[in-house]
Amino acid sequence: MFCSILSAAISGVEALPVWVEADVSDGMPQFSMVGFVSSQVREAQDRVRTALRNLNITMPPKRITINLSPGDLRKEGTRFDLPIAAAVLCSLGRLPADAFSGMMLLGELHLDGRVGRITGVLPSVLTARDRGCSLAVVPAENLAEGRVVEGIRVIGVRTLKELIRLLVDGELPEEEFCPEPAAAAADLDFGDIRGQEMVKRAALIAAAGFHNLLLQGPPGSGKSMTARRIPAILPEMSTEEMLEVSRIYSIVGLLPPGQALIRERPFRAPHHGITAPALCGGGMYPRPGEVTLAHRGVLFLDELPEMNSPTLEMLRQPLEDREITVSRVGGTCLYPASFLLVAAMNPCPCGYFPDRSRCSCGIREIRAYHARISQAVLDRIDIHCEVPAASYSDLDAPGRDPVTSAMMREKVLAAYQIQKERYAAERFRFNSEIPPDSIDRYCPRTPEARRMLKQAFESLGLSARGFHHVIRVARTIADLDGAEQIGEPHISEAICSRNSDGRPGK
Ligand SMILES: [Zn+2]
């Protein structure tokens, strides 16, 4: 007897439909599995056989063939255990053959028949709905995640027995009430940072135009404090963005238990010793890297010059294209990677240059330290900001009201609104993304601003790239100012945010 059940495989950040087919026939007793499956999927036969035996269901001495189609799509992981078990039971006549129409089934199976949590439930349920399924049965632990998808019924099962009862008698599994954890209030506030007004200003401009930011300063000057506070001044994510991000976290299994949606913009801060696959995605079983986990949020790279330089160079593609290509068995896959890069570095290897009472690094050493970051990477960072060590008067200034995140966020939102309207008909969304050929159209300059730009171009030796950076940043500064045209003060501030065309410390 033959049986076929719909399930799904993950490829990139998409879930693709997979049919799990089982056939039981007379012949040499054996259990075989075909259809471009990884060894992990192949091991399902042992889990299924044992789980069934523990339910007192013995497999008859027959020939059982499992096929996972389409055959050109590689299947990985343990997500097919449950549909395989169900398909076997169905073809043995233990489950009604029509039980699986309009249904998607996913789940890992433990030897004792418990159904285990899997990754990628959110995109899989989306695929089920889009293919017209009316029901998705998923592991109970993934239920909250599946229920995010509207327009399809989602049921969670804890054991294989519960699945059988559901399919045979229509008995619904008991549901544990799991309240959605309250959204953590952003408890990091720019108001906690005393002084450092220039740095806060740079963070504001970066957030307002989605400009990448490089912070350079001695240890303890507040570079990491600044970076951690940036997600909270970005606008809240739209529902579509939440789904986009949650889909990624679902695939890597990073959705917090019981939490269905990622509502806050991600903040990722990998260590500088990170490997290329961990940063950009890849590996034996390809999974998204930090650049994808930071999608729609902030990627903070501290101690940038300490990073392995081939790894650092790999950032060029996502910074340019806002997505990254990862090669895998049987082709490549594309992961989204639209993040705001906040990088930080010390001014010299010891960290205290130009304070010669503490720093004895040679000039050549300092140059070599800076040269570890290639010009190509620096070219993709619009704003370079020096973070001075906090001064005593900043720290001990009662009565002076600090700039808070709420104040900054209000300005960012206004600038976003302007960009949203201005670029409504474009492919890009932010000032930092204006292509060179559209700069004149979107960045009108006053005659004074043009004069100043010309002067800077000549005296600072700006490159064409540097020139475009200055104008894009000036566009954001003018937007924060509510100005239609870019004026002289906007250009002047933009030039200061980019000392000597990128190479700090020269
Ligand atoms: Zn030093």
Domains of the chain by residue range: 2-169, 190-429, 434-506
Within 13 Å of residue 364, how many CA atoms lie on the same side as its CB? 0
CA of 341 to the centre of ligand 1 (A): 25
CA of 348 to the centre of ligand 1 (A): 5
Low-confidence ranges of the chain (pLDDT < 70): 176-186, 329-330, 392-400, 499-506
Angle at 488 between CA 483 and CA 492, to 5 degrees: 110
Query: What residues contact 331, with CB distance under 8 A and at least 6 apart?
Result: none
Asked if residues 156 and 143 have their Cβ atoms less than 8 Å apart, the reply is: yes
Task: Indicate the Cα dihedral angle 419, 421, 427, 428, nearest 10°.
Answer: 0
- In this prediction the pTM is 0.86
Residue 399's pLDDT is: 62
CA of 352 to the centre of ligand 1 (A): 5
Asked if residues 295 and 244 have their Cβ atoms less than 8 Å apart, the reply is: yes
CA of 267 to the centre of ligand 1 (A): 30
Residue 328's pLDDT is: 72
CA of 506 to the centre of ligand 1 (A): 15
- Encoded tokens for 157: 């099962």
Residue 110's pLDDT is: 95
- Encoded tokens for 225: 């404090």
CA of 503 to the centre of ligand 1 (A): 17
CA of 349 to the centre of ligand 1 (A): 5
CA of 434 to the centre of ligand 1 (A): 38
Give the span between the Cα atoms of 139 and 147, in whole angstroms.
12
Give the span between the Cα atoms of 145 and 120, in whole angstroms.
9
Query: What residues contact 37, with CB distance under 8 A and at least 6 apart?
Result: 68, 74, 75
Asked if residues 188 and 228 have their Cβ atoms less than 8 Å apart, the reply is: yes
Residue 497's pLDDT is: 82
Residue 340's pLDDT is: 96
β-pair partners for 104: 6, 136
Render pLDDT for 197-242 as a digit per residue (tens, 0 to 9).
Answer: 899 999 999 999 999 999 999 998 889 999 999 998 999 899 889 9
Classify 434-506 by CATH class.
mainly alpha
DSSP, collapsed to helix, strand or coil, labels residue 439 as helix
- Encoded tokens for 379: 């070219």
CA of 436 to the centre of ligand 1 (A): 38
User: Tell me, what amino acid is at 30?
Assistant: Q
**Does the domain at residues 190-429 carry the CATH identifier 3.90.870.30?**
no
CA of 389 to the centre of ligand 1 (A): 14
Residue 330's pLDDT is: 63
CA of 500 to the centre of ligand 1 (A): 21
The full length of the chain comes to 506
Asked if residues 138 and 250 have their Cβ atoms less than 8 Å apart, the reply is: no
Give the span between the Cα atoms of 485 and 450, in whole angstroms.
11
Residue 139's pLDDT is: 95
- Pick one of 3.20.20.220, 3.20.20.140, 2.30.30.110, 3.30.230.10 as the CATH number of 2-169: 3.30.230.10
Residue 505's pLDDT is: 39
CA distances (Å), origin 246, targets 182, 197, 240, 262 = 16, 35, 10, 5
